[in-house]
Amino acid sequence: MKLFLGKTIIILGAVALFAWTAWQNAAPSGVFEARYDFAEAIPFITGLSPGDRVGSLERDSRGDAYQTIIDDPVYFRVRAPRHFDRAWITVRYQNPSQQPLAVGGLVDWNTFQFDLKPLRSDATDDWQTVTVAFDLAPLRWEGRTLTFAFSAPEMKIIKRPVQISEIKVRLERSPFFFEDLWDLL
């Protein structure tokens, strides 16, 4: 009897853990958020690439990790648990030369087209945080992955790098209903 009870508890625990994980990945509220602070890799936002356009990982005076963009453009990918309609990308960065800097989502690889939005801030010499909004309908999904780019076209002329220390992504869609279950399978 004790053996049966023990097996039952283990099986129910495994089923509950699986159900909870599946429910979290479904983003039932219609909102999914991820934050990449360059200190450690996360499964939802990749690091900056290609490697020859970014510097190695460094730390600022507060100990926060950051990466330096040394050539234009650089990319990162966002892996979502399902498709979403809207995104807010929040970037913490330092741009001492105030050169034009933009972030954008991939629309078409063949034409190398990105929906670029400028990162503008009134701050001039310290870390800045800016949020930009995107409609995800025109962006190209690769399965459940979106590709974004940082673009600083004057970087080759100015020769002043830009540091990125944090990328936050907030994805939204209508809340989950049980009739949407087939979309997840």
* Residues 171, 82: Cα–Cα separation, whole Å: 10
**For the structural domain made of 2-184, what CATH number should be given?**
2.60.120.260
Whole-angstrom distance, CA of residue 46 vs CA of residue 34: 11
Q: Find tokens 């625990």 and name the residue.
A: 13
Nearest one of 108, 163, 164, 113 to 141, comparing CA atoms: 108
> DSSP letter at 168?
E
Model confidence, pTM? 0.82
Say if strands 128-135 and 113-118 run parallel, antiparallel, or are unpaired: unpaired
Each of the 185 residues of the chain gets a pLDDT tens digit; together they read: 777 777 788 787 777 776 666 665 666 788 999 999 999 999 999 999 999 999 999 998 888 999 999 998 999 999 998 899 999 999 999 988 888 999 999 999 889 899 999 998 766 668 899 999 999 999 999 999 999 999 998 888 877 889 999 999 999 998 866 666 666 56
